[in-house]
Structure 1
Amino acid sequence: MSHELPCLPAEPEISGIGVRVAIYVQNLLSFIPAISALADGEVATYELDAVRDQSATILITAFGILISAMVQTQTLGLSGFHANIVLYLSWMNNTNTFIYFLLYVQHKSQLGPHQIRNDFISWINHIKAHFSKSVTVDERPDVTLKLQGATESTADFESADLQPRSILSLFFRVNVRGVVALLGSLHLSMMSALGIWVWSRPLHFGIEEEVNACALDLSSLIVVGRSVPLSSPGLRIWSLIIYSALVVPGLNLLGPFFLFILIVRFTSSWRAKRQMDFRHARRASKLRSSGINPPKPTSQTPGVTKRARSLAKRSLWALQMWYNPLLLPTVLGLVFLFAINIIFIVSIEVTLRQNSALIDPGESDWTFGQTLALLMLVLPLRDLRVFGARKDVSAGLRNAVNWQAHTEILWDLVRRGADVNVEAEGAPYPTALLLAVKQRRDAEFTRILLSSGANPDIPDSEDCTALQAASANGDREIVKLLLAHGANPNLEGGQYGTALQAAAAAGHTEIVKLLLEHGADASIQGGRYGSALQAAAASSGENPNTEIMELLQLHPRAQSQDHTRSSQSGSGRRWFG
């Protein structure tokens, strides 16, 4: 079939330079918060929230180009060639979902009270719990914060975020859990629906058959660096297979999700093996220094000298010590997503250039739609500004903790998005939670900080955790809050060694019961007294606290520990758990 050139109508509102540049820029901008969040080796809660906000903003605007393409197909008509340009742009927009997903997995995999193990069962259980209540009211606690040193008339500090005063304010406090996953899945499904529509009947897609015939006969697409004719049967088959596999909402995210978890699992296993090899190498070095020649490894890389192998191993270990190896899967994922964006940008530009002779000259006209698309860049740029502002707020919270500012100031900074776990190095109470628990013994502010994501296991300069301090002080309500939010009762450090020893030494029977109920180990050795039982006996003097001693003696581990210690008393050796 012969065609007169050009034979494809121009679509400046869809593939014009303004639209393309806007989508390119907003997708590349989405990597900036991700890189900034990973720069310090951890993804803080406020950093994850910033990436979530930006990803949701870009995904919402990404629906616009898909919806406009579908509407135009049904009204004015759209060629299959330009529909594929829309699909290429939509593939780029999908990367925002996976950027947030990478950082979310990294955040949840980090050490802390709510850490999720890197296996499929743990993540499946987490997903079930996360989406069991998909729509909830804002989780900020509905409490009244009583300020230190305030009078009765000024003691009640009520935040508008905490106390909704109207039905309208309550409506705006309703949020959808997993909003990025929801938007990303729906966008992927809508894109796949358009792809199936295009490739199921390419000759009859949404415009005159003569125009589509021109597109099929003469135009081509750049697919991973290769020029493939639009009429290629292989291109059509593979397109239908891929889009059909991604069309079902929810299920279209499971494949990438489990693939990434598998990579994280593999990386963790590899890191554990490297650490074991390093320990074996150190043990062998110590044996050689003692005059003992350890057996040489049975397999060595041929053609590589011993000095080169040693240098490579030391360099690899130094790299692991300098760079957090737990970030490796996330960094590789970001590099892969960035490469995908570059591939699609190059593919779109080369595709349009090599088919420019087929398209009417109006394709390069500047239109209102292109101007509007560029103006939409204000939204991701605004999110970048907010992200930087949150870093400034976190620095402000660090200074406020260092200077032990009033509770009202601390809470205001946390509410404005500061990282609640930011540490003031050198301060006697390096975090806001330690300041609230150890110095102020403020149960309500402790509740707010824990609900905002505070890590209860961060120690102070003397390795004393908030749980140990609250147990020593006898603050039962604070102890309950800390345990309910995942505080580890068996962390060792500080003056007493463990929280159980601190409570036993101070004679706080109810707190001892609470700690034992939450898995505290009475057999742990260390601290000022040596064990929780010794702490209870030594601090009681002439009037021993028999109830605490009975509780500790009834503890299974304490019984076995006491039996072992008595059996070793004749040998004069000190027992270590």
Structure 2
Amino acid sequence: MSSGSCKLPGNPDIAGVGVRIAIYIQNLLCFIPAFWALADGKVTRGELDAAETQATTNLVLAFAILISSIVQAQTLGLTNYHASIVLNMSWMNNTNAFIYFLLYVQYKSQGNNPRWVPPTWSAWARHIRGLAVSVIPGTSRGRPGHDSTDPEAGKSDDGVAPSAQILDGDNDSRRGAKILVKRFVLLLGSLHLTLMAGLGLWLWSNIRTFGEGRDTSNECAAKYALVTILGGHVPFASEALRIASFVIYSIFLVPGINLLLPIAIFLGLYSFCRALPIPKEVGPGEVSVPHSPFYYAWLRLTTRRICNSIARRWSMFPPFIGLIFLLVVNLVFIIDIELALKQNGDLQDKEEAVWGFGQILAMLLLFMPLRDLAETILARRTKQRQKDLDMGLGGAIKAQDLNMVLAMVSRGANPNAELEGGISAMHMACNLRDLDIIRTLLEAGADPNIKDGYRRDTYMVASDNTNCLRLLNKVETGSIDGMAALIQAAENGYGAAVKLLVPSLEFKYGDGTREAFFEALSGLNVNARNFAGRTALLYAINAKEFEAIIELLLATPGIDVNMPDPNEWTPLSLAAGKGREGIVRLLLAVPGIKVNAAGLGGSTPLKSAIDRNRGHEAVVRLLLAAPGIDVNAPDISGRTPLSFAGYHGHEAIVKLLLAAPGIDINAPDNFGYTPLYFAVRKGREEVVKLLLAAPGINVNVPATGGGIPLTIAASVGHGAVVKLLLAAPGIDINAPSNNGWTPLSFAVQEGREEVVRLLLAAPGIVVNAAGAGGLTPLHIAGDWARGHENEAVVKLLIAAPGTNVNAADTSGWTALHFAAEKGHEAVVRLLLAAPGINVNAPDTDGRTPLQFAAEKGHDTVLKLLLAVPGTNVNAADTSGWTALTWAAFRGNETIVTDLCAVPEIIVDVADVERRLEHPPEGWRWEDPASKDEQDKCVLVLKGFLLEARRRSLERHLESREFGGKGSEDS
């Protein structure tokens, strides 16, 4: 297609060769330190900071180009063609933020990170949410490292809580602002994406009207220009290209949200990597080359080195693939931009190749990323030198060469270095029991907390180191006794001090200082308690997970591993309750450990490991494997570990217990409740399945109250659990409790419609089973009716085959009596519609449902009863009282009026007055209405009689008049 005289004005500041080269180089330079950081199999904090610095620098330059382009579009007239080139280069610039994110994920997901974030979707969702929430002022974050669910909460830039915050209680807003500043590169990347998306939407909404004053040039580009996508040429005015671009830029428009898609892609790499088998290192004889003579040994050696290098760096696979992907994306954009410029060369003005101020400035600005790269290289060399010194320190400690240790420390070796195998220098010295080297490392500033893989804030280490040395000096001067020092060291985590204090008496030294130190420790009792009644071992377990300190204490001769605290908790119970798997393993290996020692409330270590909202499965597994473990040991309430596991719904633990030799699956507590009962009570469906499938399970064990597990399941309404129990072999669906109520009765009482339906459908159900007082389920439904729930239950009971709607209890009350007496209108309506209902059924005192409704003042229920054909409105009880008498006695004028409206009503005012003046003795007549209210009811009756006499007289006169007229006519 010929463009004729159509030309695009040159814009060297946007598409000039100098600008393009500068952007290409600065973006590709970002990959060098990133790949370098992954080369040794570990991303350090320094490498992460270097990547952040370089990415921030590049993003600032990218902002300058993008903002300049937007300004040109509104003033000088940036063409749509050059805007598309800017957008392509902006996509490249955004890879800087993504490179940093890849390294950040790797840094946080490394096992040696003190605030480790697992490379899973849920963990990173919580982490990112925590970062976002921390920026909001006043947001509650919890105590750093304790209460907060966010791994970033309360940490300094190296991922730990700063000492100033611990001392002064830094507020949430300052902490959130600090996190925001430290993650500035991600903020810049998000804003750059938003700005780029805005320009993209502006351009692709209509490429012909883009910008100001360039309509001719825009039309020229729309007609003749081509853009390159993955090496293929596409017309600039393609409608498909416009729609696709518009959609893509819309996705990346909202700040913060526009980072979610790239984040999801990179986290997907980690998920994919986790699904792959992890390669293992191979030994010298494990690599073979088919048909290889001896001189191919170098090939075997090379292959083994490559395999082992991949195995050691396998954790770097996800970020490595991510970097390769980003690098390929950058190269594709570079090729596409250059191909598009070459393809559209005849459209562009020759000014495009002119080197102006903008291009020269862009080349000069390359100094900044080159400077960052140089700093990274120099830091790498410094890091290697430090690594060599640290390795030398490790070798000197291993050789127990004190002079060499002193030399390495003086040359700059890090006393807190992580040595080969992830062990700290202090831990190595403690393992070798070299007290001189331990003391030397402490004096050099080593962390007295000898836990491996746990890097802490420098100020915290310095503070602990100073306090530890001060403590040891107090022992030397005799200002503190050895036992107090040992407890204090264990409580604060000074493992090095524990190592110095405990075994020191075994060593002999010649100098006076050492002798004075050991003399201060003479008679040291490692089992002594402090004022709170705790030993050093208990403090080490209770305070924090000081596993290394506990290991040292357990190796001390004479240690009492079973000594309890004031609450009778033994070290093993304490560790089991806290889920400290490593500590439990150490304690179980000690000869004489009491695995069934019961503490306060009879709680054993096994029960302590289970009786939590989160059961400690690993600890339970260790305890069950311990010799002499009693899997059925009850607490003071008689509950066994299996009961607690069932109650809390710990399925995995229930499986372990059921597989344990000697387990009593039906062990009752002091109230007769079995493990099945507790699982049923809490609706633990999966646990119930496990228990019902266990050999020897008794589903009909009655508790002290007589109810079986089915009874409680029916009462609380766990339909799924009821289904499981009904399907259990030998289940007694009509098992009565101590008051004779069956599971159906309890389900009816609580209005459990689903459970009632299940029970009524079960073979052998006795729907009229009578409990104490002769109450049937239908009686209970009428008595306890509560809203629509029991209305539905009454429907089910009435419809059940064999239901006796007129069944009477020991007082002669039917379900209709109960419903009328309680005023349950809906239930009365259902009962009256039941076939064969006896509306006039009297109780043992001769009272009918109508009399109950009248006595209690339930006017609506009374009207329902009166509307039933055959209702005896004049029925009298054994005292001769009718419904009308009871209504007057209670002073209810409305009901008296309703009764008088019944044609069959017999009104004897004198009889009513006599009964009101002299009621019988008994509790039924203890609460009469006031005299005034009763008199009003009598007046209603008298008025009714007067009206009746008037009507009778009128009828008589009418009949006489009619009779006289007839005789006269005749």
Q: TM-score, normalised by structure 2?
A: 0.42
* Residues 1:520 and 2:522 are matched in the alignment: no
Letter in 2 for 1:116: V
Secondary structure in 2 matching 1:10: coil
1:387 and 2:376 equivalent?
yes
d(CA) in 1 for partners of 2:36, 2:269: 22
* Structure 1 residue 6, shift from structure 2 partner: 5.0
Name the residue aligned to 1:531. Answer: 589
Any idea what SS the aligned residue of 1:43 has? coil
Separation in 2, partners of 1:97, 1:394: 25
> Residue 114 and residue 567 in structure 1: after superposition, are their counterparts in 2 closer, same or farther (change >3 A)?
closer
Is 1:197 the counterpart of 2:255? The answer is no
Secondary structure of residue in 2 paired with 1:338: helix
Q: Distance in 1 between matches of 2:541 and 2:407?
A: 22
Aligned twin of 2:57? 57
Alignment partner, residue 41 of structure 1: 41
Match of 1:125 in 2: 126
Say if 2:162 and 2:459, in contact at 8 Å, map to a contact too. Answer: no
| C-alpha spacing 1:35/1:187, structure 2 compared with 1 (3 Å) | same
Residue matched to 2:627: 565
In the TM superposition, residue 143 of structure 1 has moved relative to its aligned partner by 6.2
- Asked if the contact 1:10–1:361 (Cα under 8 Å) also holds between the matched residues in 2, the reply is yes
1:385 deviates by 1.8
For 1:300, the equivalent position in structure 2 comes to none
Describe the shift of the 1:489–1:449 C-alpha distance in structure 2 as closer, same or farther (beyond 3 A).
closer
Q: Name 1:299's counterpart in structure 2.
A: none
The Cα of 1:197 is off from its aligned counterpart by 0.5
Contact persistence 2:157–2:182 (CA under 8 A): no
Q: 1:530-573 CA distances to partner (integer Å, 9 max, x unpaired)?
A: 7357599xxxxxxxxx99xx9989965699849942379xxxxx
Amino acid at match of 1:128: R
**Counterpart amino acid of residue 205 in structure 1:** F
Q: Distance in 2 between matches of 1:423 and 1:388?
A: 23
Query: What residue is the counterpart of 2:10 in the other structure?
Result: 10
**1:367 corresponds to:** 356
Contact 1:503 1:512 in 2 (8 A): no
List per-residue Cα deviations over 1:356-404 (Å, max 9, x = no partner).
1111111111111111111111111111122122223323434554255
User: Which residue number corresponds to residue 349 of structure 1?
Assistant: 338
1:168-179 mapped onto 2 (5 Å cutoff): 176-179=181-184
Q: Once the 2 structures are TM-superposed, how far is the Cα of residue 130 of structure 1 from its aligned partner?
A: 2.7
1:503 match: 553
Greater mean deviation of Cα atoms: 109-118 or 245-254: 109-118
| Structure-2 separation of matches of 1:344 and 1:398 | 39
Structure 2 counterpart of 1:191, one-letter code? M
TM-score normalised according to structure 1 size: 0.68
- Counterpart of 2:230? 224
Gaps of 5+ in 1: 145-171, 283-314, 415-419, 456-465, 491-497, 537-545, 569-577
Structure 1 residues 120 and 467: CA distance shift in structure 2, 3 A: farther
1:322 aligned to 2:309? yes
| Code of the aligned partner of 1:439 | L
AA aligned to 1:423 is: L
Distance 1:339 1:137 in 2: 36
Letter in 1 for 2:272: F
Please list, as runs of the form range in 1=range in 2, the aligned pairs for 1:388-467 lying within 5 A after superposition.
Answer: 388-398=377-387, 401=390, 402=393, 403=405, 423=419, 429=425, 439-440=441-442, 450-451=456-457
1:69 equivalent in alignment to 2:69: yes
For 1:481 and 1:524, locate their aligned partners in 2 and report how far apart those are by CA, in whole Å.
Answer: 13
Correspondence 1:209 to 2:215: yes
CA distance in 1 between counterparts of 2:577 and 2:499 reads 17
**CA shift for structure 1 position 481:** 12
What displacement does 1:86 show? 0.3
Q: CA deviation at 1:45?
A: 1.6
5 Å-filtered alignment, 1:84-233, equals 84-112=84-112, 113-134=114-135, 176-206=181-211, 207-233=213-239
- Preserved CA contact (<8 Å) 2:208 2:215: yes
Calculate percent identity across the aligned residue pairs. Answer: 33
Supply the distance in 1 between the matched residues of 2:583 and 2:183 (Cα, whole angstroms): 42
Separation in structure 2 between the aligned mates of residue 394 and residue 482 of structure 1, nearest angstrom: 37
* Runs of at least 5 residues in structure 2 that lack an aligned partner in the other structure: 137-153, 165-176, 287-301, 394-404, 431-436, 462-492, 503-534, 610-618, 631-970
Deviation digits for residues 190-235 of structure 1 (CA, Å, limit 9, x no counterpart) = 1111000001021111132111100100111111111111111111
SS of residue matched to 1:8: coil
Deviation at 1:517, TM superposition (A): 7.7
Superposed displacement of residue 174, structure 1? 9.0
CA contact (8 A) 2:18 2:362 kept: yes
**1:260 Cα deviation from its structure 2 partner:** 2.1
Q: Measured at CA, do residues 555 and 482 of structure 1 come closer, stay the same or move farther in structure 2, by a change above 3 Å?
A: closer
Which of 336-345 and 427-436 deviates more? 427-436
Q: Separation in 1 of the partners of 2:52 and 2:622?
A: 50
Shift of residue 341 of structure 1? 0.8
Q: Residues of 1 paired with 2:427 and 2:550: CA distance?
A: 22
Give 1:292's aligned residue: none
C-alpha distance in structure 1 between counterparts of 2:252 and 2:323, whole Å: 21
Q: Is the 8 A contact 1:7 1:211 kept in 2?
A: yes
- The Cα shift of 1:512 comes to 6.7
Question: What is the alpha-carbon distance in structure 2 between the residues aligned to residue 504 and residue 552 of structure 1?
Answer: 18
Distance in 1, matches of 2:429 and 2:102, equals: 28
**Matched residue of 2:227: which SS?**
strand
Structure 1 contact 108–114 (Cα < 8 Å) conserved: yes
RMSD: 5.0
CA distance in 2, matches of 1:138, 1:561: 39
The verdict on how the C-alpha distance between 1:142 and 1:199 changes in structure 2, with shifts beyond 3 A counting, is closer
Q: Find the counterpart in structure 2 of residue 307 from structure 1.
A: none
Aligned residues: 469
Pair 1:431–1:55, CA change in 2 (3 A): farther
> Deviation digits for residues 457-477 of structure 1, max 9, x if unmatched?
xxxxxxxxx986566457999
Alignment of 1:267-306 (within 5 A): 267-271=273-277
Deviation, structure 1 residue 57:
1.2
Q: Is the 8 A contact 2:69 2:78 kept in 1?
A: yes
